[in-house]
Amino acid sequence: MQGHTKTENKSETSHVLPVSRTKEEAKRFYDRISGVYDCFTRAFERKHAERTLECLSIKKGEMVLEIGFGSGHCLKRIAQSVGETGKVCGIDISAGMLEVTKRRLRKAQLIDRVGLCRGDAARLPYSDNAFDAIFVSFTLELFDTPEISKVLEEIKRILRPTGRLGIASMSRESGKSAPLRLYEWAHRKWPRYVDCRPIYLEESLMDAGYRIRRREMTRMVGLPIEIIVATKATSD
């Protein structure tokens, strides 16, 4: 019955909105705001990202990747969690964010544990089965719908057979709430600035061959937020 209701609710809502800005536009935008981005995440996204990290349960000695590390707040926490025997990698599209994160890690004396690069999550520059855990916070919904499956396939390629993926994302699962409609209106009107949009996270993961291990729903200024920890469907 619950599954039937979920399908009905989804069919009653409009499809996931497209991302119309280009990746070059995204790079320029995030480069421009990199110096103040930490203020935005502190006010809105940070507690949900930190909750996702708690659910991901990173351990000492693990190899961990963060995709879309932004100003590096969570990357710093990950580097602390893996300890001296672990290793962390981070990839982000913005050179400005990379520089902000480098400064944060140097100040915390953690830069030696972290390898940073600028790049595209649809083409991850890492070898197969390289990571014990991968963390993605408010980044997957920045990709246009056809690319979401590509990003998830790339993550699956570099995740170890028993590895785990932790994602926080804006969600469309609650359907027709007023904050959701207002946000999507803003995305349509100012797509270069309100560039992310709510997605069907759980369904995207299952379609890409993941097994959902943990799922939580919460809210950010009225917008539904989905937190999921998943593994490859073939893992025990």
C-alpha 178/C-alpha 50 separation (Å) is 26
Which residue in this structure is represented by tokens 């915390």?
108
| Torsion (CA) 116, 117, 118, 119 in degrees, nearest 10 | -130
pLDDT tens-digit readout, 101-128: 999 999 999 999 999 999 999 999 999 9
Kindly give, in sequence order, each residue whose CB lies less than 8 Å from that of residue 39, ignoring residues fewer than 6 positions away.
Answer: none
CATH code of domain 2-232: 3.40.50.150
Answer with the residue of higher pLDDT: 12 or 155.
155
pLDDT category of residue 198 using cuts at 50, 70 and 90: very high
Closest CA to 120 of 164, 68, 72: 68
For the segment 1-10, the average pLDDT, to the nearest whole number, is: 39
Percent of all residues in the chain with a pLDDT value above 70, rounded to a whole number: 92
Compute how many other C-beta atoms are within 10 angstroms of the C-beta atom of residue 61. Answer: 12
pLDDT tens-digit readout, 64-92: 999 999 999 999 999 999 999 999 999 99
pLDDT category of residue 235 using cuts at 50, 70 and 90: low
Residues facing residue 166 across a β-bridge? 135, 229
Answer with the residue of higher pLDDT: 144 or 233.
144
Inter-residue contact 133 to 58 (CB < 8 Å): yes
Helix pair angle (73-82, 95-107), 10° resolution: 50
Mean of all residue pLDDT scores within the chain: 90
Inter-residue contact 201 to 174 (CB < 8 Å): no
Q: Which pLDDT belongs to residue 174?
A: 62
Q: What is the CA radius of gyration of the chain?
A: 17
